[in-house]
Amino acid sequence: MDVLALEAKGVKSESSPALGASKPRSKAPKKPKRIVYFEVEILDGKTREKLLLLDKVEPSATILDIKSMFHKSNQRWYPARQSLCLDPKGKPLKDEDVLQQLPVGTTATFYFRDLGAQISWGKVFLAECVGPLFIYLMFYFRLPFIYAPKYDFTTSKHWVVHIACLCHSFHYIKRILETLFVHRFCHGTMPLRNIFKISSAVNPSVCLITDYGEQQVKTALGIFLFCQLGNFSIHVVLRNLKPPGSKIKKIPYPTKNPFTWIFTVVSCPNYTYECVPVAFFTIIGFVQMTVWARGKHRSYLKEFKEYPTLRSPILPFIL
């Protein structure tokens, strides 16, 4: 009985707090941090007219957030069309810049510039491919509003013209398909007015055909196909560098594909592959025209005794 009484007493003493023992103090609830809101004023960069006043803007707001607020007050100026600067003639702020990290007080003043109607880079690439493709084909098929009636819808008798059309069309159709299925574009835009400069192409209405040899055409065609395949290989490598939605940039390196080994010595081999055919045909054309120019220059010297001695056949003071 004594043992049981002692055990019961011990249990009771352990479960009940000792007399005079202080109760543990409960922690006082933390006071929420006081947020210092910003007042944002947007002025016209040219006239200094006040366009918008935003109060209680959170310090963590980005420039893109501010542009979106500005867009709500004026639907005409969507974010991509806006340029916000800290100085009327300063550089535009980046969309990811945070308000509280900018050199401004709690009352921030931004100067607005209208960038004009914008177009996404994906549409830019499509336009610059579709434009040259169709403009070239208009001349190839000799549409009536370009050529005289007797040449309407006639085809050239030179087979090299047809091969050139196939190569030209293949190149731009390939670029259109790459734009749709290979390239990954950022969310950047470009002024719409620039699209007319990029997508235009100039094609001669009269084509001077020289005596192309079959070997010349085959060689040129082989170089063209080689460069097209190389260009496509580089585009695939660049695409795989950046996962969808990622902004992390990586250095491109050669892969097992031999067309990518040029990365060892070149930063932008996709442009290299595009320039090789241009350089090849430029050199061939330059050599041929140099022969013509020198021949005509000699005939001038023979025909005219007073012919200016300062003149050169094709390049001033050189050739």
CB atoms within 10 A of CB 63: 20
128 and 112 both lie in a single domain: no
Q: What's the N-to-C CA distance of the chain in angstroms?
A: 127
pTM, 2 dp? 0.55
The alpha helices in 118-158, defined as continuous H runs, are 121-140
Of 235, 139, 217, 224, give the one whose Cα is nearest residue 180: 235
- Residues whose CB falls within 8 Å of the CB of residue 274, separated by 6 or more in sequence, listed in order: 227, 231
Is 257 contained in some domain? no
Is 316 contained in some domain? no
58 and 127 both lie in a single domain: no
Interatomic CA distance for residues 154 and 149, integer angstroms: 10
- Percent of the chain at pLDDT exceeding 70: 82
Question: Residue range 59-75: average pLDDT?
Answer: 93
Residue after which a domain boundary falls, among 62, 92, 116: 116
133 and 189 both lie in a single domain: yes
More confident residue, 15 or 75: 75
Q: Name the residue type at position 143.
A: L
Interatomic CA distance for residues 41 and 51, integer angstroms: 8
89 and 139 both lie in a single domain: no
Of 112, 113, 100, 14, give the one whose Cα is nearest residue 58: 100
Question: Residue range 214-223: average pLDDT?
Answer: 83
Return the residue matching tokens 């580089």.
Answer: 234
Is 308 contained in some domain? no
Is 297 contained in some domain? no
pLDDT of residue 205: 41
Is 77 contained in some domain? yes
Band of pLDDT at residue 118, cut at 50, 70 and 90: confident
> Residue 82: which domain range?
38-116
109 and 134 both lie in a single domain: no
Asked whether residue 257 carries a pLDDT value surpassing 90, the answer given is yes
pLDDT of residue 130: 87
Report pLDDT digits (tens) over 13-41. 444 454 455 556 666 666 667 778 999 99
The alpha helices in the chain, defined as continuous H runs, are 2-15, 63-73, 121-140, 159-181, 195-199, 214-241, 269-303
Round the CA-based radius of gyration of the chain to a whole number and report it. 36
Asked whether residue 75 carries a pLDDT value surpassing 80, the answer given is yes
Residue after which a domain boundary falls, among 209, 233, 252: 209
56 and 137 both lie in a single domain: no
Number of domains in the chain: 2
More confident residue, 10 or 171: 171
How far from 225 is each of 36, 178, 228, 319, CA to CA, in Å? 62, 16, 5, 33
Residue after which a domain boundary falls, among 66, 96, 116: 116
3-state secondary structure of 132: helix
